[in-house]
Amino acid sequence: MKDKKFISYLFEVAWILPSVAIPVSMMVAILVTAFAVGVRVPTSAGRVSVSAVAAGTDTTFSQPGLREIAPGRYEAIITAQTFMFTPNTIEIPAGSKVTFILTSKDVIHGFKIEGAPINVMVIPGQISRVTATFDKPGEYLVVCHEFCGAGHHVMSGKIIVN
């Protein structure tokens, strides 16, 4: 009888330990990525009128493009709309720190720069803001990673770092 109880005890422990260890290890992984690695949940940098952006009357997004705000620091104002980014190509010097300020004129889009730590949702009525430093010269492909219609596969742009 004692052997059966001992076997039952081992069987229970064999199930209890992983059921505690797995959630604890998941929580540790979340804490490490949040604090040690610096992964953050994207947040809205503000709101904007979709109709004003589409009409070109919004003060921030009426003239999309690249602006130098300080030596080596740039601000890229970008609008996304069905199957295109405006501007489509941006040229910056190597070593520049660029803050991308984005919104959409129509539907949800994505803005991902291959080879850079930029991956953000571009939502109508919401301003997305993300910053990266481009140290390595070359061409960086910009793609929309959210399905936005039949021509989604052609929605791309590029960042040229000189």
124 DSSP assignment? B
pLDDT score for 14:
86
Question: Tokens for 126?
Answer: 């919401």
User: How far is 75 from 63, CA to CA, in rounded Å?
Assistant: 12
- Taking the chain (162 residues) in runs of 10, the rounded mean pLDDT of each run is 79 88 92 72 77 88 93 95 93 94 93 90 91 94 91 92 94
Global pTM reads 0.74
Give the per-residue pLDDT at 38: 62
Position 4 scores a pLDDT of 80
Closest of 64, 90, 88, 89 to residue 77, by C-alpha: 64
pLDDT of 30: 85
41 alpha carbon, distance to own chain's centre? 9
What pLDDT, on the 0 to 100 scale, is given for residue 37? 66
